[in-house]
Structure 1
Amino acid sequence: MYRLTSRHTLIGLLVCLALPIQVCFAQNQVSFNRDIRPILSRNCFHCHGPDSTHREADLRLDLETGLKSTTDDAAVIHPGKPDQSQLFERISSKDTNLVMPPADSGKSLKPAEIELIKQWIAAGAPWSKHWAYQQPQSSSIPDVKNQSWPVNWIDRFILSRLEQQNLQPAAEADQVTLIRRLSFDLTGLPPTPQAVDQFVKDQSPDAYEKLVDRLLASPHYGERMAIYWLDLVRFADTVGYHGDQDHHISPYRDYVIRAFNENLPFDQFTREQLAGDLLPNPSLQQKIATGYNRVLQTSHEGGVQRKEYLAIYAADRIRNFSGVWMGATMGCCQCHDHKYDPYTTKDFYSLVSFFADIDEDQHLRRGADRIPTIREPEIFLYTDQEKQQISEIEANMKTTQQALKTTKQKEEQKTLKQKLEQLKKDRAAIDKRALKTMITVSIKPREIRILPRGNWLDETGPVVQPAIPEFLGTLKTEKDRLTRLDLANWLSAEDGYGLMLARVMANRFWYLFFGRGIAPVLDDFGGQGGPPHYPELLDQLALKFYKDHWDVKQTIKFIVMSRAYRQSSLETPEQRKLDPFNQRLNRQARFRLPAEMIRDNALTVSGLLVTEIGGPSVKPYQPAGYYRHLNFPKRKYVADTDDRQWRRGLYVHWQRQFLHPMLKAFDAPSREECTAQRPRSNTPIAAMTLLNDPTFVEASRKYAEDVLLNGGDSDAQKIGYAFTKATSRAPENRETEVLLNLLNSNRREYRSQPKAAVELTKSGLAKTNQELNAKELAAWTEVTRALLNLNEVVTRN
């Protein structure tokens, strides 16, 4: 392989620049899974892959037999002899009638890719099964020269590779950076100034580990993890289709928070969501967990075609199920066999059959004007007070009904009947305001057929029974039919999908704490995803997660305790040029905080954040008229007017068709589909949101009040107090100077425009301290607005 040394040739340099960076720093040989399979998948599998219906020339290149089974005279691959291999001949041909991929396919191989295939064939064309469909394998922990750097074996895998390339890991981040990084990563909130001081002063050898343990024990840890899980399962407060009406599901979100806080083993977490209703004597929380099966997009429009929407819901379920738990894109199999992976259309509908016992008719038989108070199957989640009230009302009703039977007086009976009617109204009123949530209740499974080309009008396809994808084996049962519980158990079983599920989740945990997965595509471990940059490390993490009995907190602690996690995120120009995506992992990552955390950070710094855990969704300030296009029925957004206004972003009402503008500006998904990795954009709209969203203006005002009351006597002291509160560090002299100039500039402006100052100090619901001078408060509010807009404040470092 080509290496970036002073001796590489021009061709070698061009090859390295053209290739994915992991190829450039591979050591001695071309890897089929890492280097060759992705090339074939991108360029060849569409016509010569798993999809038998559209396969050309009866040639299948995703299997070893397809590559090597022909005779020497017509060998697709002739190991050791590229010039006698048809594959190399066709991809390197200059003849437009012979070259592959054909010109009209829109695909072509780069010279560096052709060279790689040539090298692979010359080396004997070693083939291996796709890495994601092999069970994770244990490997020996690498030796390293620098024995003092590693904390655990994560570090040894990384350092070993770096040392082979004569590279060094980054220095450890300073303590302030570490506590901010850990606080955001594990709780989604910034550290308090007191917590920072305590950590910086703690010189004990286990100071860092104590911090990790404290943050993992925080109730806010569950909230932070829930943000990610709710993206995966496409949680929202509305149905998505047509009128996008509200549905009752917020208790499911609280179940997720509780599960992470209580460190529910991930296999049980999986089982309860997919099939909690099928467990023996399911608890209330296990019933609530089955809300997962009800959180898909649905329609409550009266004229929907039943069979069409049953097909739509089925496809939605399998897209999400396969994406969340398998890291697979099985939605591609709805109409034809997968073009890049070994999943078939039969596999798709066999998985649909597992979910055929869910009562979809509850989404289909009511129009928007006929939705009752409770949408079966739902349950009421009464508070203790409501339970007491119900008990009293029902006892009173029973007494009144008995009295009606015995009294003979058209006046006493009339009074009793009026009383009974009132009691019924009181009882109904409790149900109207009580918290409800959708759950899953198993019914007789409906018949599932393969839909040819996904056509819901075509009923000629064969009937299928519940089954796992055929290439992954078979799942047997002593019962008449496999159930969702069987599927959930298979997902976590060692002789089932368990170790591969562990790899999917280990990769996602890594993403949360390094900004990228070890395998770069978090929801596609198949042919169109990317191979892991440290495959042995990923497998070892998966095995640890499984052997630790699916202990999420223990796995996360192991990752964040590593020296690799603690590295500085500062990068040299050379690192940025040679490894822009940090695939070598010789530094940490810097990236903008998720949308919810940006909101939570501002509310925390201002002192406004309400830290209550759980409860119904909340409605913060939102632009007037934003819902004007919502119909069936028309709706007007009414923002909360109490302390719900300052709840965490996790609890913001999630309207799929009209996601809150602040969340949308910072790339939160609408949650129509599984989102395993949010995009990170940098737009003027985001900057304008930070400056002008009423939540951020109000937070800046309260932040400024705190600075004026508690920041010290001089302007410089107040600047230092405000800066430290936002960034956890003291400002540099230049920063203080800039902020003082901003302060004095705004003082002059508001002295000349006192009405504007008064208007600014009225922003939001939070009461203004009337003892403060409005012009001075307004000037300081502009300073704190600037602080909340700093890149350092909205970036996880």
Structure 2
Amino acid sequence: MGIGILAGLYLLGGSLTEVKRGDSVQAADEPRPPAATSAASANAPSLSQGPVDAEYFEKKVRPILVERCQKCHNSQKAKGGLQLDSRAGFLRGGDSGPALNLLPQVLQYEGDIRMPPQGKLPQTELDILLRWLAAGAPWPQDRNPSTTPSPSTPHPQTPARLHWAFQPLQRPTVPSIPAGTPIQNPIDAFVLARLQAVGLNLAPEADKATLLRRVYFDLIGLPPSPEELDAFLNDAHPDAYDRVVDRLLASPHYGERWARHWLDLVRYAETYGHEFDFDIPEAWRYRDYVIRAFNADLPYDRFLQEQIAGDLLDDPRYDPQTGSNESLLATAFWWLGDAVHSPVDSRMDFADRIDNQIDVFGKAILGLTLGCARCHDHKFDPIPSRDYYALFGILASSRFHYGDIGDPRPLERLLDELTRSRPQAYSTAAESRGSGGDIIPPPRPGSAWRLGAKAWEHFGADWRQRWDATGLGLRPTGGEGFPHSGQEAEALSAALRSPTFMIEHRYLVLRVAGRQAQARLILNGLQLIRDPIYGGLAKQIDHGEEFRWLVFDLHLWPGQPAYVELLDNGPGYFAIREAWFADTLPPAETGESVPRPPSAALEKDPHRHRCLEVLETACRNRPRAPVMRDGPGRNERLFIRGNPRQLGPEVPRGFLSLFPAPPVTSSGSGRRELADAVLGPARPLVARVFVNRLWQHHFGRGLVATPDDFGAHGEAPTHPELLDWLAEEFITSGWSIKHMHRLIVRSRTYRQASQLPTAQAELARRVDPDNRLLHRQNLRRLEAEILRDAVLAVSGRLDRRLGGPSVLPYLSEQQVGRGRPPSGPLDGHGRRSIYLAVRRNFLPALFTAFDYPPPFTTVGRRSVSNVPTQALVLWNNPFFHEQARYWAERLHREQPQASLEQRLQQMYLAAFARRPDPEEVQAARHFLQQFPPTESLTAWTELAHVLFNSKEFLFIP
């Protein structure tokens, strides 16, 4: 087969190395090889750990240098001639030579010089520095190398309002363009004005076939079929293209295409990574939520409200098809990060997880690198550390919940029926249980003990006031009431969470009853991973109606914040009678049982019995997902140099100080106020960031080339007036994403060819070599997932169903390790790539070869490398061989009597949206003749594989 491929590539013009149609004038936007790394390859950074860049330096490296090195190696006291308080000093090195070459040996105590002299660095710090050095030691240019601002000093940066990204929006005047200039909308006027100022013009419009293929891939991520191409080419109506755009925006595949871009921003994955790559249960439901939101053109401001605080909105949305609470489901956004299985330092792990949430929130929504302010005031932007910890307190006051996201209204109606029938059943039950004590069910909203789910909502009495008065509750006195999650129906799920407390005693003691329930101690707010190796934080409740002691031993975590939660995922129940702290173990068991309505009571009330049966049925298979729930508001103290064990002053919860917003005054986390601030004073920045992302995905480069960094260290916009006009138009349109798509893809700027006329090419090379002024369209490579989807579409194996649980990815025999799942089918059952499970430790080789981003933080612009591995994957990966065979079989099946020219024409239309020219027909004929007539299917399979390997298949001109 390899010989056939080589022959095909030769005969078809070496198509791995050139694009048949639409070559670019220059290669600025084409893939480039990755930058060379330092010679210290033994410590080369792993892709799975995320990038080693300026942000990595600010968040991880600089705090170590300040703490461990700069006391002796600074501009005033440079021992050994080495200064490590500035980039210039590091690059210059010391008396012994360049620091980059010597530090790995010095830090690892491998030579005569050993630093720090008082003892080798802890392994975690050593790993950070070695990884940084191996990556070439990126160190951003210092504004003032001699100073390192501390959280307590005034921030030295230029006033915020002087930076373009933080200024209010003012709708710019659309430039005046001479009559007769071919423009479609104001976008073209802004672009053309810049071009004409340097003597350039827009490139000619792309031919119809190229344009159709481009807009199909951009809007739905699939190629047009030969039939769709013919229909467009034969449609001479002036609005033929506009109607295609409207049809694609209305396609359900539009949501699949654009959801993937958002998932890159929120580091979407379905496992936690680390050692065992445990599942994030039901994470795929968030993916489907995003697809539905894009398809429905959910206004972007509402979309963001739901991501940040969907559980706190007064008007939650429900999906009419699935019945899921869309607003609640959106908050899974916060929980998609990686997680350590069993952290040795739980407090540091807590800080790192919240840091990831702040980092993703800042980059994805605000286009700001907020994580740089964890250890010190931001070096470039007006973001003091206090702002970072104001956000930290909001997120630390929120709680993870894996719970019911179904529409509660059907259950409410059934519970209303039960409420109306309750008196008779309860009186009978009370007679039969004697003096066991009243069940006084739970809580009013706003009390410190917090509930989740419908099991609680139809009770009137309140048992919690005497518990709340002392924090966790101690031994309840003055009554016998207690919460019972199964009092109405065991099928109902429920959660009960205590206030946050500081661990000051050896034991936490609960007296509980129940079955198929769980009690968990949530240490530092984020105990997400099951079966911790240090043990004891999760305990099953499955001993039935008898109250028994359940004891948590807390001696390993004195002084750390925690709360306790009881979970009933239905069917099952729990009841809790007491909760208190102690320095000794509890007394002997009492043998007391939880009073429950006996079955005899139900038999005397057939109506209630029927209601319960209906309720049990309604509770089965209700959707569940990881979501955010509010906890009691609690301010965080500032971490000195980012260390959670070195605490500074308390910081009130709130938003960034550069955007004036009311302080958080609610008793909850403050996420609702955060959402209001993001869409209030920060609205201009939010709009600029998102329209820039749209622009980038349509042109290959944003108006701001650093889409995740609109701060002073990012790039300035190439067309600032156009950016502001788009942002203002976005807001005015009601934050309609589809409206912005229409504007962009209908513009004459978007519809340009990627190839320039010879007369303009030389001038363009001189005045706009990187095409920043958009004198032509950019040549763009298909992303890994879209390449795979295009292959499936062309071969005829694409399954176009929407949504549902993910398909396990295909894994080769070489992909081994802990947590390895069973390999999925080679073609993923034909599902689109967005429905392949994203397992952090086991990403498909096809994806990683084509720059699929490791899902650890926001990636607003994927890398586009050009390395031999990609050609080898296209050539050797069994997926391409299999699909080439399916494509050949499809041709034989659908066109059994077709001539060679007819089949070849169909193949070229499907793969390239064009017909083959005579030379290509002749080359294909000669290629096919190399195979005996008995191997006709093999010959066409080889030819199909050659077309998959062509650069024209891989690129969008």
Using structure 2 for the length normalisation, give the TM-score. Answer: 0.60
CA contact (8 A) 2:301 2:679 kept: yes
| Deviation at residue 737 of structure 1 after TM alignment | 2.1
Q: Does 1:592 align with 2:592?
A: no
- Of the three residues 149, 154, 157, the one matched with 2:187 is 154
- Of the three residues 701, 709, 723, the one matched with 1:524 is 709
Amino acid paired to 1:511: Q
Give the 3 Å change call, closer, same or farther, for CA 602–304 of structure 1 in structure 2: same
- Of the three residues 629, 641, 657, the one matched with 1:453 is 641
Give the 3 Å change call, closer, same or farther, for CA 708–444 of structure 1 in structure 2: same
Corresponding position of 1:361: 526
Q: Bigger CA drift: 706-715 or 523-532?
A: 706-715
Distance 2:825 2:719 in 1: 48
- Listed as ranges, the matches of 1:192-203 within 5 Å are 192-203=225-236
Give the 3 Å change call, closer, same or farther, for CA 104–686 of structure 1 in structure 2: closer
Specify every segment of 5 or more residues in structure 2 that has no aligned partner in the other structure, as ranges: 1-27, 30-53, 67-82, 93-138, 142-159, 319-324, 400-524, 542-563, 572-596, 604-612
Distance 2:652 2:570 in 1: 35
Distance 1:377 1:238 in 2: 24
| Deviation at residue 403 of structure 1 after TM alignment | 8.3
Give the 3 Å change call, closer, same or farther, for CA 102–401 of structure 1 in structure 2: closer
Distance 1:376 1:577 in 2: 66
Corresponding position of 1:696: 880
CA contact (8 A) 2:664 2:670 kept: no
- Listed as ranges, the matches of 1:85-96 within 5 Å are none
Q: Does 1:544 align with 2:729?
A: yes
CA contact (8 A) 1:596 1:663 kept: yes
Corresponding position of 2:332: 291
Report the secondary structure of 2:860's partner residue.
coil
Distance 2:566 2:185 in 1: 49
Superposed CA deviations along residues 286-325 of structure 1, whole A, max 9, x for unmatched, are 1111111111222332x54321111011110111000011
Distance 2:246 2:270 in 1: 33
CA contact (8 A) 1:327 1:504 kept: yes
Corresponding position of 1:438: 626
CA contact (8 A) 1:294 1:439 kept: yes
| Deviation at residue 103 of structure 1 after TM alignment | 7.0
Corresponding position of 2:802: 613
Report the secondary structure of 2:527's partner residue.
helix
Distance 2:769 2:570 in 1: 50
| Deviation at residue 681 of structure 1 after TM alignment | 1.2
Give the 3 Å change call, closer, same or farther, for CA 530–377 of structure 1 in structure 2: farther
Superposed CA deviations along residues 631-658 of structure 1, whole A, max 9, x for unmatched, are 2xx43423148x8521001111111123
Q: Bigger CA drift: 595-604 or 361-370?
A: 361-370
Distance 1:497 1:403 in 2: 61
CA contact (8 A) 1:377 1:438 kept: no
Structure with bigger helix share is 1
CA contact (8 A) 1:306 1:364 kept: no
- Give the alignment's Cα RMSD to 1 decimal: 3.5
Corresponding position of 2:832: 648
Q: Bigger CA drift: 719-728 or 220-229?
A: 719-728
| Deviation at residue 693 of structure 1 after TM alignment | 2.3
Q: Does 1:793 align with 2:948?
A: no
Distance 1:274 1:479 in 2: 16
Structure with bigger strand share is 2
Distance 1:196 1:377 in 2: 58
Corresponding position of 2:905: 720
Specify every segment of 5 or more residues in structure 1 that has no aligned partner in the other structure, as ranges: 1-19, 22-41, 55-96, 110-126, 383-399, 407-422, 752-772
- Of the three residues 638, 645, 649, the one matched with 1:462 is 649
Distance 2:891 2:570 in 1: 43
Amino acid paired to 2:794: V
Distance 1:667 1:168 in 2: 33
- Listed as ranges, the matches of 1:122-271 within 5 Å are 129-248=162-281, 249-271=283-305
Distance 1:280 1:354 in 2: 19
Distance 1:737 1:377 in 2: 73
Report the secondary structure of 2:713's partner residue.
coil
Q: Bigger CA drift: 271-280 or 158-167?
A: 158-167
Amino acid paired to 1:277: D
Q: Does 1:280 align with 2:445?
A: no
Corresponding position of 2:348: 308
Corresponding position of 1:511: 696
Corresponding position of 2:660: 473
- Of the three residues 357, 360, 365, the one matched with 1:317 is 357
- Of the three residues 657, 675, 682, the one matched with 1:488 is 675
CA contact (8 A) 1:719 1:740 kept: no
- Listed as ranges, the matches of 1:59-70 within 5 Å are none
Report the secondary structure of 1:704's partner residue.
helix
Alignment identity in percent?
36
Distance 1:280 1:139 in 2: 36
Distance 2:88 2:226 in 1: 62
Q: Does 1:603 align with 2:792?
A: yes
Superposed CA deviations along residues 654-683 of structure 1, whole A, max 9, x for unmatched, are 111231111111111121110000011122
- Of the three residues 648, 659, 682, the one matched with 2:843 is 659
CA contact (8 A) 1:507 1:517 kept: yes
Q: Bigger CA drift: 709-718 or 271-280?
A: 709-718
Distance 1:305 1:190 in 2: 50
Distance 1:668 1:513 in 2: 18
Amino acid paired to 2:235: D
CA contact (8 A) 2:394 2:635 kept: no
CA contact (8 A) 1:277 1:440 kept: yes
CA contact (8 A) 2:653 2:663 kept: no
CA contact (8 A) 1:467 1:482 kept: no
Corresponding position of 1:72: none
Distance 1:101 1:616 in 2: 49
Report the secondary structure of 2:398's partner residue.
coil
Corresponding position of 2:480: none
| Deviation at residue 464 of structure 1 after TM alignment | 1.2
Corresponding position of 1:556: 741
CA contact (8 A) 1:476 1:482 kept: no
Corresponding position of 1:36: none
Amino acid paired to 2:306: E
Distance 2:800 2:193 in 1: 43
- Of the three residues 356, 362, 377, the one matched with 1:337 is 377
Give the 3 Å change call, closer, same or farther, for CA 656–710 of structure 1 in structure 2: same
CA contact (8 A) 2:398 2:669 kept: no
Give the 3 Å change call, closer, same or farther, for CA 685–102 of structure 1 in structure 2: closer
Superposed CA deviations along residues 38-80 of structure 1, whole A, max 9, x for unmatched, are xxxx9xxx9xxxx9x99xxxxxxxxxxxxxxxxxxxxxxxxxx
Distance 1:379 1:256 in 2: 28
Report the secondary structure of 1:462's partner residue.
strand
CA contact (8 A) 2:265 2:858 kept: yes
Amino acid paired to 2:532: G
CA contact (8 A) 1:564 1:588 kept: yes
Give the 3 Å change call, closer, same or farther, for CA 324–715 of structure 1 in structure 2: same
Amino acid paired to 2:369: T
Corresponding position of 1:76: none
CA contact (8 A) 1:241 1:298 kept: yes
Give the 3 Å change call, closer, same or farther, for CA 278–211 of structure 1 in structure 2: same
Distance 1:579 1:377 in 2: 63
Amino acid paired to 1:474: A
Distance 1:364 1:589 in 2: 44
CA contact (8 A) 2:375 2:640 kept: yes
